Amino acid sequence: MVANMFAIAAWRDPEDYADLLLLSDRHGLHRLALVQHHLSSRIEGDRRLLLGSRFCHGLAPTHYGDLAEDLATTCARVGMRFMLAGAHEVEPGPDIETPEEFLRHYLDDGLPEWRAQIARYAEDPWSPYARRLNELAEQAGLPGLDITIGRFMAEMREHTESRDREMVAREIRRLVTESGLSQRDFATRLGTSPSRMSSYCTGQVTPSAALLLRIRRLARAVTQPRPD
C-alpha cells in the first residue's frame, strides 16, 4: 500500500492507478483508506515529505481524466475516504475567504490542514461555507477540484443523514425497551405491523416526525401509572 502511495504521489502512471483499484478490491475502501492514513502519518514527520498531500494531488480528477471509468471512480472514492480518515480527530479550521488563500492551502498545506477544512464543513454539510469552498476552488483555477469538493459534500451529507437515521432508530429501540412491551405488542398498540415496527427499530425506515411523537407518547403512557 505504501509503495502504491509513493508511486501515485511521484509518477502517476496508469499502472499505479490500476494497482490502486486492485488494492481497493482486495482490502475494501474503508480499510485501505485507514491503512494509508496511518502510514502517511508515520512517514510525514518531515514537513518536506508531504506524502499524503502529494497522493491526494495524484487522485485529483485532473490527473486521471483519461483513465477508464471504473478506475476513475475508484480513484475518486479512495481519495475521499483517505481524506475523511482521521478528520474527526482534528479541530475545524479557519474560514478560507479568497481564491488566493484557497490556492495556497491546496499547494502548500498538508493533510492536517486539509482535514481541518473537512471538519469545518462536516459540522454542517448544508452550510453556505461548504458551498463557498466549491466556488473558491473554481475561482482559483483548479479544474476538477470543485467536482471533488462537491463529492466530499455529498459524502458528508450522506454520512450525516445515515448517522441521524441511526440516532432515531436507537431512540425508538430505547422507548420500546423502556415500555416493557415486546416489539410486536408495541406495534399493535401503535397501530402498525410488526414488520413495519422492526424497520423503524433497525433504521431501515425512518418514521415521520408525527409518528415519532406517537411512539414517544405511547411509551410514556405505558410506563406511567394511571391515576386512581
| Cα gap 149→66, rounded to integer Å | 20
Rounded average pLDDT over 141-161: 80
Cα Dmax for the chain = 80
Q: Which residue has 401509572 as its cell numbers?
A: 225
CB distance 8 to 63 below 8 Å: no
List, for residues 61-74, the tens digit of each pLDDT value: 655 556 677 777 78
* pLDDT computed for residue 18 by the predictor: 85
Highest mean pLDDT (candidates 64-73, 116-125, 188-197, 218-227): 188-197
User: Residue 147 — pLDDT band, cuts 50, 70, 90?
Assistant: confident
HSE of 34, CA atoms in CB hemisphere, 13 A: 6
Q: Is the pTM of this model over 0.75?
A: no
Report the C-alpha gap between 123 and 157 in whole angstroms.
Answer: 10
- Contact 160/125 with Cβ under 8 angstroms? yes
> What are the grid coordinates assigned to 29, written together?
475502501
Predicted confidence (pLDDT) at residue 16 exceeds the cutoff of 80? yes
119 vs 111: CA distance, rounded Å: 12
CB 141 within 8 A of CB 98: no
Percent of the chain with pLDDT strictly greater than 90? 31
How far is Cα 145 from Cα 154, in angstroms, rounded to an integer? Answer: 14
The CA distance from 175 to 153, in Å, is 33
| Cα–Cα distance, 10 to 66 (Å, whole number) | 18
Query: How is residue 40 written as a grid cell?
Result: 502517511
- pLDDT above 90: residue 81: no
Residue 159 is placed in which grid cell? Answer: 454520512
165-223 placed in CATH 1.10.260: yes
pLDDT confidence band for 47 (50 / 70 / 90): low
Half-sphere exposure of 198 (CA within 13 A, CB side): 4
pLDDT at 86 over 80: no
Q: What is the pLDDT of residues 164-187, one digit of tens each?
A: 999 999 999 999 999 999 999 999
Report the pLDDT value the prediction gives residue 202, as an integer from 0 to 100. Answer: 96
Is pLDDT above 60 for 48?
no
Which helix or strand (DSSP H or E) is residue 157 part of?
helix 145-179
- 34 Rama class: left (phi>0) / alpha (psi -120 to 50) / beta: alpha
Exposure string over 176-215, b if 16+ CB within 10 A, otherwise e:
beebebebeebbeebebeeeebebbbebeebbeeeebeeb
More confident residue, 44 or 228: 44
* 68 phi/psi in degrees, rounded to 5: -60, 155
